[in-house]
Structure 1
Amino acid sequence: MTDGARPNADPGSESDPNPVPDALSTDAVATYLHCPRRYEFAHAYDLEGDGDESSIDDRVDLLRTAICDALRRGETDSQALLEAARDRLEALWDDHDERFHSLAQRRHERRVLEATLEAYVEAVGAEHAAGTEALAADAGAGELIGPDLPLSSTISLPERDGDDEGTADTGALPDSVAIDATVDYVYADGSSVVGVRFVPTLAPLGLLRYRSEWEGDIAGQFTDHFDPDADAFEPSFVGALFETAVVLDGLRNRCDRLGLEDRTCRYVQIPLADRSRTAVNWVRETVETSLETMDLTDRYIDHHTYGMTHEHRNRTVDDCLARVVSDLVAGAFDPTDTGRWDEISSEACPDCDYTVCCQDYIAAEVRFDG
């Protein structure tokens, strides 16, 4: 069961209206940004899609577990950290039942994972390991290493004048909703507490990879996404900013519980399956790769909001997140009511697992002449 919805619900059943979720995940909000109907199928009705899991995600999970377990051992020396991560990966790989077309491919994928571990340790591993130890000394008994450390942010919902046409009758809506996110570990960097999440690639970030601050292009593209008269449709980009808002607020809440109220918070993503940075020597059977870490904090922070509140926040992003979540919990799942159906049908539908049961997609695809 996901995001507070009841299992085994019958889509479209009048006797089983969409329940108001107790909590949402950042992944659920991102799904809603791509298409409200996709969210309804995947999260309100908990229908499984063919593409829910992938071999790449499974391999990232192997690396995530190996790195976190190595960090948990408290090794701050690069070589010792790498050996601990390799040993853990070896044990995990022995139990990994992914099907390959040959033993040669399996050996190659193992070398890619080992090269990724080496790249992680070389780029940031020892520094982050020392940071987790330093933070542990200040935080006492608080859990700092995952994988999948839970974070939560409570979003106050704006008042609604009434349900829009096509919005489900869900009764009284809550004043606030919790949004859940995860990071894989937390470490200290000077006066900052940094949350790190491992991801397959940074490709979903879009423009966020190529701009260093909110003001300018990032702010413009974010605003354009919500403008039905603009050509921009960037749900992954917007979802990344929403996720950053939730993670930073969740980190602040965690710092408060650990007695670290004076710390600022930052959010970093590290890709573990970016093959564009991988070089393979098939003759020598060697693999080399490198990692690009991405700090999303400055790309999210609005310095005007910071100047007024002295907090790492962005009023524009936070207000839009609240409006999107308000629509979601109100049951506004009809994508044709968003004013962006053309963009949704061209960008989201082609890779959607639910087109076979989506009346909006079928109605758009099946037309009769005359």
Structure 2
Amino acid sequence: MTDGDELEARTVGPEPTEANDRPTAPERLPVDAVETFLRCPRRYEFAHVQGLEGTDVDDRPLEDRVALLRTAICDALRGVGPEPGERALLEAATDRLEALWADYDERFHSLTQRRHERRVLEATLEAYVDAVGVEHAAGIARLNDELDADGALIGPELPLSSRISIPDETHGTSDAVSIDAAVDYCYADGSSIVGVRFVPTLRSLGLLRYRTDWEGAVAEAFTDHFDPDADAFEPSFVGALFETSVVLDGLRDRCERLGLEDRTCRYVQIPLAERSQTSVNWVRETVETSLEPIDLTKPYIDHHTYGMTHEHRNRTVDDRLERRVASLAAGDVDPTDRWDEISSEVCPDCEYAVCCGDYVAAEVRFDG
């Protein structure tokens, strides 16, 4: 059995029987499974219970190129000295990208397009180094010195997890589910340990891109998503807050194991493919871009909770996450209560629509 098979075996519980009339809660779930469940429970069932793999051919090349940048940056951070200058860090990242690009087999329309996309990636590396690269490399060096970690907190795909207990009052038991997430590296910033995740874009964050406080618009939008009487359906926005909760809890757990219990934890996303920030001079064949990292801790943190615990937590988000994981673990995949929103906003682009009974039943109707 491969590692993937083993994970699937642990993730998908046995079918309920007369002796055991409820499905066994999965032991582990990726955080994107929770976001998929928010988007559509049936979509979650197809993707994460039945194990059907959906393919979005439009997004795959973009994700593959981000993966190249993610690897190049992390390898450069691991390989440079404790106080690299911009030039040294950029050269290390560019050299690593060159090696990865030589084996990159995406089918481009022409050699001209391939050269252009290479220039876009190189410009993104320059933007990263200019915006935060040297600062983050110094923070990694401080953390390595303090822990004698020797690069152990550099990924890519550094795993984190948050363990969520699911009480069952009927059976008098409690299941625990680990929600898995990842960051690409961690660095020290004052009294905080910061987890950094490279993502393609920040478009799905919605309000989280423009607000720095939980209180007010963010809290209202989050609450409205779960209010059946409110005209709101924001699964990506809510999913990002859930992901932030999981990452911060995973970072706290990692800090405790490393003897850093006194540190607060933060979560930062850096978009590597925001084409709206990119300008191209086709005559000179040059590309310029910029990066705008976002600290998701700021709109996530509930300052009332922080005032009592001195930890970056949000009880409202954490409670809702627990309830959604409980529903998911119980096998509640009926989309009826949000079908109007799901059918109009999710179904049109869903790769599972062709085999979804709810979608087919809604589309195929007979008069009379």
TM-score normalised by L of structure 1? 0.92
1:342 alignment partner in structure 2: 340
Cα distance, 1:263–1:13 mapped onto 2, change above 3 Å: closer
Aligned to 1:304: 304
Counterpart position of 1:66: 72
Work out which of the residue numbers 16, 21, 27 in structure 1 matches 2:32.
Answer: 27
Q: Which residue of 2 aligns with 1:222?
A: 222
How far off its partner does 1:50 sit? 2.3
| AA partner of residue 155 (structure 1) | I
Q: Deviations over 1:201-243 (max 9, x none)?
A: 0001001001111000000000000001111100000000000
Change over 3 Å in CA distance of 1:3–1:214 after alignment to 2: farther
The amino acid across from 2:225 in the alignment is H
**Match of 2:164, as an amino acid?**
I
Question: What is the rounded CA distance, in whole Å, between the counterparts of 1:213 and 1:159 in structure 2?
Answer: 34
Equivalent residue number for residue 145 of structure 2:
137
Name the SS of the counterpart of 2:291 in structure 1.
coil
3-state SS, counterpart of residue 175 of structure 1: strand
2:249 match: 249
In the TM superposition, what is the alpha-carbon distance from 1:13 to its structure 2 partner? 11
Cα 1:179–1:13 shift into 2, 3 Å: closer
| Conserved 8 A contact 1:146-1:183 | yes
Alignment: residue pair count: 356
Cα distance in 2 for partners of 1:317, 1:186 equals 23
Match of 1:48 among 47, 53, 57: 53
Q: Deviations over 1:170-195 (max 9, x none)?
A: xx974321111100000000111000
Alignment check: 8 A CA contact 2:168 2:174 kept:
no
Matched AA of 1:25: P
Separation in 1, partners of 2:80, 2:287: 28
Q: Any stretches of 5+ residues in structure 1 without a counterpart?
A: 163-171
User: Matches of 1:135 and 1:141 in 2, distance apart?
Assistant: 7
Q: Distance in 1 between matches of 2:120 and 2:174?
A: 47
Amino acid at match of 1:80: A
**Who is 2:288 aligned against?**
288
Deviations 1:234-286 (A, max 9, x none): 00000000000000010011111111111110000000000000000000000
Letter in 1 for 2:66: V
Q: Could you say if the C-alpha distance between residues 13 and 109 of structure 1 is closer, same or farther in structure 2, counting changes exceeding 3 Å?
A: farther
Offset at residue 3 of structure 1 (A): 9.5
1:39 is matched with 44
> CA–CA distance in 2 between the matches of 1:158 and 1:187?
36
Distance 1:285 1:320, change over 3 A: same
In 2, Cα distance between equivalents of 1:191 and 1:102: 49
Q: Matched residues, percent identical?
A: 70
Kindly provide the CA deviation profile for residues 290-315 of structure 1, in whole angstroms up to 9, marking residues without a partner as x.
00100010111111111222221000
- Distance in structure 2 (CA, Å) of the matches to 1:255 and 1:86: 32
CA contact (8 A) 2:165 2:322 kept: yes
Contact residue 116 and residue 272 of structure 1 kept, 8 A? yes
For the 8 Å contact 2:167–2:174, the answer to whether it is kept is no
| Cα separation, 1, equivalents of 2:317 and 2:194 | 20
Contact 1:173–1:330 (Cα < 8 Å) also in 2: no
Equivalent in the alignment of 2:121: 113
Contact 2:155 2:183 in 1 (8 A): yes
Mapped to 1, the partners of 2:245 and 2:85 lie a distance apart of: 33
1:149 aligns to what?
Answer: 158
RMSD over aligned Cα, in angstroms?
A: 2.2
The aligned residue for residue 101 of structure 2 is 93
Secondary structure of 1:80's aligned partner: helix
- Deviation of 1:20 after TM superposition, in Å, equals 2.8
